[in-house]
Amino acid sequence: MYKRFQELMVKIADVNYATAVLMWDQETYMPKDGEHYRSQQISTLSGIAHDLFTSKELIELVATLQEDASLNEDQKLNVVETARVLNKKKKLTTAFVMEMSTTVSETFMAWQKAKQNNAVEDYLIHLEKLVLLKREEASLIGYKTHPYDALIDEYELGMTVLELDKLFEDVKVGMKKLLDKINAQPQVKDDCMRQSFDAKKQWTLGIELLKRMGYNFDAGRQDISSHPFTTSFSAQDVRVTTRIAEDDIANMIWSCIHEGGHALYEQGLPASNYGMPAGEAISLGVHESQSRLWENNVGRQLPFWKANYSYLQETFPDQLGHLSLSDFYKAMNKVEPSFIRTESDEITYHFHIMIRYEIEKKLIDGSLEVKDVKKIWDQMYKEYMNIEITDDRKGILQDVHWSHGSFGYFPTYSLGSFYAAQYFEKACKDLPELETEISKGNNQPLLDWLRINIHVHGKKYTAAELCKMVTGQDLDLSFFMNYAEKKYGEIYGF
């Protein structure tokens, strides 16, 4: 009976990953005229996957297997987790799933055009329809306190608005105090990052950085997209994209390292559990912990660049050949309010997240309508970071997430940063020579530690359980704040 359950789950995974390939192509290579039928194709496959998952046969198999005492630990996990997800999916009709899929595809393509043309109006028309569907989805799934809880649960199981509100209030206070200390000191210079950097050379540099992190190109590839992302079709096919700006090398470097962190997690999941919960990532918060750990706790630190800066200088001798590693390190860690979330520093980054969280929470509970989003976005950037939005591509159009229907996703970026600081401190305690090895260009000890402690478990634990198991403590903001105080105190001299 379990074998039949596994056969069905693998079949569903095949359909879902086939859909994911079409969506990857939609964001990378699809010709413009393919838009209409691509939306239809994705919608059809989404409907098929939903029908298979909510079929009478699978429902009955799951119900029976939950009473089967002969199942091993992984098998029990697969059944219990499938039952949990199935309980939600049964509440959505196939027609609703297909409508959502079509609307997401159309909204995504509207977002691409709007960003290209800096014209937000048509995008907002599509986004309004999508928000109405997300409100309906929250209502259909059900929630105890706030409709947003139903959506964030998809990305961070068990997390609630009540918990997030408290966390972000603490974040706001802590980050503001740290930012005030930084602002009281002379600002560091980062002009070196904004010179003319040839796109082809940047591309080669990004590939090399991914290799040095341990990314397996025999099980993946990198491409260009409007918004960098990682997608997986199995542990043997995990793809990343990057974005290159010839006048800003930081854009490419940290998008490659960030997405590389996501990809290393996916490549480290147990391939033997393809299509099953035991072979899937725990949560988006844990997923973001992997990308933020590599991007910030490794990629924005001196040890990593002691090993890699000479290669960067060799690639761009005219731009960086004269610049000391110390000055490059300070430049990459300049703290200053900015427009673009993905290009922001480690401190102001969380103000970007808080703005998005507050907006999408209100969109879902109906206290904010889509027609007012741009106005509120611009007001909050003025209030939180004292910057004026004069270009929507640097404002409401910069992120792809809402066009994907990913409401509830943004908080996981901050959660990921906080998990990352806690995990990395534990890794350094377990591996006293870790930073020395990284400075020699040997990232394998860290990757091995992450494989053993994080990647291999699939969904065996919740994010909270994993954090306590690995670090001995619940998620604690103080790990990040202590890390940030020490790092930026040294850079800015306070």
Check the CA dihedral 343-348-350-356 and report its sign: negative
Q: Are strands 237-242 and 220-224 parallel, antiparallel or unpaired?
A: parallel
**Cα 443 versus chain centre, distance:** 22
- The 3-class secondary structure across the chain, one letter per residue, is CHHHHHHHHHHHHHHHHHHHHHHHHHHHCCCHHHHHHHHHHHHHHHHHHHHHHCCHHHHHHHHHHCCCCCCCHHHHHHHHHHHHHHHHHCCCCHHHHHHHHHHHHHHHHHHHHHHHHCCCHHHHHHHHHHHHHHHHHHHHHCCCCCHHHHHHCCCCCCCCHHHHHHHHHHHHHHHHHHHHHHHCCCCCCCHHHCCCCCHHHHHHHHHHHHHHHCCCHHHEEEEECCCCCEEEEECCEEEEEECCECCEHHHHHHHHHHHHHHHHHHHHCCHHHCCCHHHCCCCHHHHHHHHHHHHHHHCCCHHHHHHHHHHHHHHCHHHHCCCCHHHHHHHHCCCCCCCCHHHCCCCCHHHHHHHHHHHHHHHHHCCCCHHHHHHHHHHHHHHHHCCCCCCHHHCCCCCCHHHHCCCCCCHHHHHHHHHHHHHHHHHHHHCCCHHHHHHCCCCHHHHHHHHHHCHHHCCCCCHHHHHHHHHCCCCCHHHHHHHHHHHHHHHHCC
Q: Which residues are catalytic?
A: 259
**If we measure between CA atoms, which residue out of 445, 229, 240, 437 comes closest to residue 342?**
229
CB 466 within 8 A of CB 286: yes
C-alpha dihedral (177, 183, 185, 191), degrees to nearest 10: 140
- Which CA distances in Å does 409 have to 13, 159, 344, 444? 22, 11, 18, 30
